[in-house]
Amino acid sequence: MASTQEKTGKKKPTVIVTIGMAGSGKTTFLQRLNADLHTKKRPPYVLNLDPAVSKLPFQPNIDIRDTIDYKQVMNEYKLGPNGGILTSLNLFTTKFDQVLSIVDKRAETVEQIEIFTWSASGAIITEALATSYPTVIAYIIDTPRTASPVTFMSNMMYACSILYKTRLPFVLVFNKTDVISHEFALKWMEDFEQFQEALQRQDDTYMNSLMNSMSLVLDEFYSHLRVSGVSAVTGAGMDEFFEKVGEAVKEYENDYKPDLEKRIAEKQNAEKEKRAKQLEALMKDMGVGGSNQGDGVDMPE
Ligand X SMILES: Nc1nc2c(ncn2[C@@H]2O[C@H](COP(=O)(O)OP(=O)(O)OP(=O)(O)O)[C@@H](O)[C@H]2O)c(=O)[nH]1
Instruction: Provide the binding-site residues for ligand X, judged by CB under 6 A.
Output: 20, 22-28, 53, 119, 175-176, 178-179, 231-233
Q: Minimum Å distance from CB 119 to ligand X?
A: 6
Residue 297 per-residue DSSP state: P
Cα gap 273→288, rounded to integer Å: 19
Please report how close the Cβ of residue 201 comes to ligand X at its closest, in angstroms.
26
**C-alpha count within 13 angstroms, C-beta hemisphere, residue 183:** 4
**For residue 141, what are the β-bridge partners?**
174
Closer by beta carbon to ligand X, 15 or else 141: 141
Q: What minimum distance in Å lies between the beta carbon of 82 and ligand X?
A: 13
Q: What is the DSSP letter of 175?
A: E
For ligand X, the closer CB: 12 or 26: 26
d(CA 112, CA 245) in angstroms, rounded, equals 13
In the complex, least distance from residue 177 CB atom to ligand X, rounded to whole angstroms: 7
Q: Is the Cβ of residue 60 or residue 134 nearer to ligand X in the bound state?
A: 60
CB closer to ligand X, 115 vs 218: 115
How many angstroms separate the CA atoms of 79 and 212, rounded? 39
- Determine the 3-state secondary structure of 1 from DSSP: coil
Count of all residues that appear for the chain in the document:
301
Least Cβ distance, residue 85 to ligand X (angstroms): 11
* Closest separation in Å from C-beta 2 to ligand X: 35
User: Helix 123-132 vs helix 149-166: angle between axes, to the nearest 10 degrees?
Assistant: 60
Task: CB nearer to ligand X: give 121 or 208.
Answer: 121
Q: Which is nearer to ligand X, 233 or 260 (CB)?
A: 233
Sign of CA dihedral 162, 163, 166, 170: positive
Nearest approach, Cβ of residue 120 and ligand X (Å)? 11
Nearer to ligand X by C-beta: 27 or 112? 27
Distance, in Å, from the CA atom of 34 to the CA atom of 40, rounded to the nearest integer, reads 10
CA distances from 27 to 47, 56, 198, 297 (A): 12, 7, 31, 66
Could you give the CA distance from residue 11 to residue 4 in angstroms, rounded to a whole number? 9
